[in-house]
Structure 1
């Protein structure tokens, strides 16, 4: 079956579901939303409403990042909670599965990486705001009805997972990577009680209006595990110097210590944060190295990937520095 035929069938299923919610609504065409890295993502109007549809790609299995029903589960479990998320409007488990969620207006921009530039005062306020949001996410009940959370992933499991990714990157693209992995492995911290993890929590995945966070999006790799896994990743985006040749200086962004203080909200400091900050840098080096390798092998042509080597090297070097 051709992709166009499958998209036509998906459009029919979406229209049928949305008109089932409110009979008589006029449903528009599915329009591809740019920027998605998993599954198929569309926008669609229904009456005065607008929705985002996420669907399993034709011919692919609903696993990993393509498991859209898993994404719908976590959004439904967080509905009405202190964590802002888009509302789930419809779920269709018939394969290829899809779900529709409310379209949340706003900007999801990394101040030090993305265009257009965010005014410094706004960037600072947004970062402090989502530090509060991350705390509220980590206070969510992992036994919430319908969440069906996976087994917890601790520090050792997260390290093993991303070590495999980094090892798949040619050695010349990850200078010092083996030493970093060895040092991370020799001193894995004991796990804290497990919480609900976003997996890629940062301003680039939080829609904001002015200084207010209105929706945390992109839940493809959510899991349950040590809260410091999310924290170590989030803190990485507070300083443009972590991204040589890529980042821009933004005046007045919160420091990592400021963000941690907001997250903790008076609670005791978390142990071994330097290890998790180093882990976050290793993960970024692995992701960038993977993308650069794919470009150089001709699997995904993107000349912009050639800007990554200085940042990959810096991620590995500063991670080793953090470990002492």
Structure 2
């Protein structure tokens, strides 16, 4: 999850975010770099039994990061790798579920989905300070969060036709996730928060909201109350959900999907939940930050029609899932705000955790009900 940034999650100790831009609504990261030479030495020793004779080269800890993990990029044995290190003290999620991500990526790759190839999972925290997994690097570029892609960056420079292709190919990739047999993937279901589906989701985000931030986020509390009062039926069998389903988590090459990233939020549920998040984050990166949506991106109505065809059944209760998306995003931004307070980047009474572009958009969505 990269709401702090527009690139791969990176850094040494957990990456930091500078004070938020009130205009753009998302904080800019300032990484705490680990010592690259020490890291290179550790990785060389660790790789010796896995890639005999390979030497770590071109090690990078990129300068932009989210809070959900640290990324170390390097090459060895003639190919590129990405080591993703579990968060420790400062993290976005209560339970990083790191080994689950490794298992899920390995299985989805085996099934032919365009996810990174995972090579190794290392549970020994003494090496890099936390468990880590090593994936193959993928060429491509993802639409940025900071600045939002409707405002600046490479997405503003490509043709409307390529934007349309990106959007549609992202939907096709998401539909492939929803088409996966759930058998063998049950471990992503967070049953500790309730039975599969919306009861579980509301239990999780209720817990998350109060874990994330020491204060109150009134609009998120209102959204949670509304969601509990209006919970719809779930008549269809649960599907695998990507969770953080948005074009900012897809690597593209000329409008085609090269890689589907970020599986921290994967779970089981109704596909409407993923589609609503896909639409909501795009709405935030346009309307939510005061930017005009770029030409070429299909409308929400067109997207729903397209996804109905991809899913093979009518979509239901999207208004509900939009409110759920707003709750999630407001809660995540509250967590980012709390981390900024914990780092001393903003005062303890800074309004950012409860007053930001995510909370304002959620308030708008609630007013539209």
Sort the TM-score into its range (normalised by shorter chain): 0.7 to 0.9
CA RMSD in angstroms comes to 3.6
**Does structure 1 conserve the Cα–Cα contact (< 8 Å) formed by 2:276 and 2:322?**
yes
Instruction: Tell me if the contact between 1:200 and 1:233 (Cα under 8 Å) persists in the aligned partners.
Output: yes
Partners of 1:82 and 1:258 in 2: CA distance:
28
Residue range with higher mean Cα deviation, 210-219 or 7-16: 7-16
Question: TM-score scaled by structure 2?
Answer: 0.72
Q: Hey, what's the Cα distance between the residues in 1 that align with 2:65 and 2:327? A: 24
Residues 1:279 and 2:324 are matched in the alignment = yes
| 1:311 alignment counterpart | 357
**Aligned residue in 2 for 1:229:** 273
Q: CA deviation at 1:82?
A: 4.2
Residue correspondences, number: 317
Cα distance 1:25–1:263, how it changes in 2: closer, same or farther (>3 A)?
A: same
Query: Alignment partner for residue 142 of structure 1, among 174, 182, 194?
Result: 182
Alignment gaps of 5+ in structure 1:
none
CA shift in 2, pair 1:217/1:113, >3 Å: farther
Range that drifts further, 271-280 or 242-251: 242-251
Matched, 1:215 2:259: yes
Deviation per CA, 1:90-144: give whole Å up to 9, x if none.
2223334222100011111153266344423322211111111111101112223
| 2:153 pairs with one of 111, 115, 124 | 115
- Residue 315 of structure 1, CA deviation: 2.1
User: Could you say which residue in structure 1 is the equivalent of 2:108?
Assistant: 78
Which of 114, 132, 136 is residue 102 of structure 1 equivalent to?
136
SS in 1 for 2:365: helix
Mean CA deviation greater in 23-32 or 99-108: 23-32
What TM-score, normalized by structure 1, do the two folds share?
0.81
Task: Report the alpha carbon displacement of residue 6 of structure 1 after superposing the two structures with TM.
Answer: 9.5
How far apart, in 1, do the equivalents of 2:48 and 2:163 lie?
A: 39
* Aligned counterparts, 1:255-274, within 5 A: 255-265=299-309, 267-274=312-319
1:132 aligns with 2:172: yes
2: distance between equivalents of 1:149 and 1:248? 37
Q: Indicate if the aligned counterparts of 1:238 and 1:256 stay in contact, CA closer than 8 A.
A: no
Corresponding position of 2:6: none
Counterpart for residue 239 of structure 1? 283
For the residues of structure 2 that align with 1:67 and 1:11, how far apart are their CA atoms? 26
1:24 aligns with 2:53: yes
Counterparts of 1:157 and 1:213, CA distance in 2: 31
| Structure 2 residues not aligned, in runs of 5+ | 1-12, 14-32
CA contact (8 A) 2:288 2:361 kept: no
Name the CA shift for 1:142/1:58 in 2 (closer, same or farther; >3 Å). same
| Worse overlay, 209-218 or 180-189 | 180-189
